[in-house]
Chain A
Amino acid sequence: MPQISQLAATYSSQIFWMMVIFGAVFFLVGRGMAPKVIETMESRDQKIAADLAAAEAARRDAEAQDDAWKAAAAQQRGEAQSLIAAAKADAAKAAEVRLGAAGAEVEARVAEAEARIAAAREGALAEIETVAADAAADIAARVAGLTVAGDAARAAVKDVLHG
């Protein structure tokens, strides 16, 4: 077993080189490189976590904007509807007013026309009475030889015409 049979001859060399070479490994690899590798891994983890957080924040922001947009749209729709309703009401009112005015005018014109018709009829009636009275007096003079005064003839015609 060389480990034991060569012990006396080799132990110092073994221990010396082990310490030198493991020391070099410790300082170069252990202290020099391993922490940097860990650092790289940590910075990557942090980057991933930050990116995820940013994505989450962006998602929340987008959702908030979406909500705000929906609210604005709903509000605008309400405003538009109230505007339409107001316009409808205005239009209805205006139409009513114009209808009323037109109706009044129509009524006035109808009344005027009726008054004119009544006046014409009155005039016609008076004319008929006068003509009838003249005719009656004339008839009476020719048939009976009576001379009837104009007023009496007119009263007698009026009596007959109006019952």
Chain B
Amino acid sequence: MGFTRVATEAKVDPMHQFTIEPLLGTDHWSLAGFNVAFTNSALWMLISAVVLYAFMLGGMKRELVPGRWQMMVESMTGFIENMLTANIGKEGRKYLPYVFSLFMFILFANLLGLLPLGLVGIHPFTFTSHFTATGVLAILSFAIVLVVGFWKHGLHFFSLFVPHGTPLPMIPLIFVIELVSFLVRPFSLGLRLFVAMMAGHVLLEVLSSFVIGGANAGAFFMGLVSIPSFILMVAICALEILVAGIQAYVFALLTALYINDAEHLH
């Protein structure tokens, strides 16, 4: 749909891909007065979850000598487990369910959003390019940090904002600075993922509009604009796959680091 429309209008709106379109229950699905319509965004969350579940089923064979699929599942799980033990220590094991779900869910969402399903008329929707979605995950991570911090250390958790060896007169100032940097964490966490995913998808869309625009403008512009843009697009697609993994990793890693702060203070 998008491509034919683009071809006829010879013009593209790179932000159109982020439009949320309600699929079910537009008006009457509501919860406590809030609209909870099932949108294309929710659909792709569900698809990510289902694909992730199917992927994990391959790891449930629990054989002594793993097959390829089981090996993949185990290497992903082992990767997150290593990250947690490296950053938090042996207490990190109990956060494995959360951090693993977080990493895999974001990773699958990012990768599924990159699939070239537009070729067969299905438009993947990358819900991680919406800060309403990433914000929920960021606030969840932040809430876990707060709950763990105050649960384990009580009001002593505030000493997180006063690094060791701070001179006495500097303490009020440092406290405020550290507090602000702490409170900014959920925003930076959620916005980083949203911005990275959105930027990549916009870039791909803009380049694809160059390809189509150049091709429509004749053979000369096709050679001058379309072909280099297409080559660049291929390279950026590869980069986007990398970014999809890195952003999922960064989200999980920062969550682990913040949890480490809550577990061990400084």
Contacts and interface: CB of A to CB of B under 8 A. Distances in A.
Nearest to B47: A21
B186 interface: no
B77 A10 contact: no
Contacts of A18: 45, 127, 132-133, 136-137
Interface in B53-70: 53, 56-57, 59-60, 62-64, 66
A1 B53 CA distance: 32
B77 A15 contact: no
A2 to B, nearest CB: 4
A26 B97 contact: yes
B49 A24 contact: yes
Contacts of A22: 45, 49, 101, 105, 136-137, 140
B194 interface: yes
Interface string A122-161: 0000000000000000000000000000000000000000
A3 B129 contact: yes
B74 A13 contact: no
A11 B37 CA distance: 10
A18 B20 CA distance: 14
Interface string B75-111: 0011011000000000000001110110011000000
A40 B137 contact: no
A21 B45 contact: yes
Interface in B6-33: 15-16, 18-20, 22, 31
A14 B37 contact: no
B38 to A, nearest CB: 7
Interface string A1-40: 1110011011111111111011011101111011111101
Given A33-B60, A40-B62, A14 B20 contact: yes
Contacts of A17: 36, 38-39, 41-42, 45-46
A14 B130 contact: yes
B18 A2 contact: yes
Interface residues on A, range: 35 or more
Interface in A18-66: 18-19, 21-22, 24-26, 28-31, 33-38, 40-41, 44, 47
B59 A33 contact: yes
A10 B131 CA distance: 11
Contacts of A30: 96-98, 100-101
B21 to A, nearest CB: 10
The A interface, classified by DSSP as helix, strand, loop or mixed, is helix
B250 interface: no
B181 interface: no
B101 A29 contact: yes
B256 to A, nearest CB: 14
A29 B52 contact: yes
Contact of B39 (A1, A10, A34): A10
Given A13-B42, A17-B36, A29-B104, A1 B18 contact: yes
A35 B96 contact: yes
Contacts of A16: 31, 34, 36
A15 B101 contact: no
A3 B132 contact: yes
B77 A34 contact: yes
B216 interface: no
B49 A12 contact: no
B171 to A, nearest CB: 38
Nearest to B63: A40
B250 to A, nearest CB: 18
A14 B104 CA distance: 19
A47 to B, nearest CB: 7
18 contacts: A2-B16, A2-B18, A9-B20, A13-B36, A13-B37, A16-B34, A21-B49, A22-B101, A22-B136, A22-B140, A29-B49, A34-B77, A34-B80, A35-B97, A36-B59, A38-B81, A38-B96, A41-B78
10 A-B pairs with the lowest CB-CB distances in the bound complex, closest first: A30-B97, A30-B101, A12-B34, A17-B42, A14-B132, A18-B136, A16-B36, A21-B45, A37-B77, A2-B18
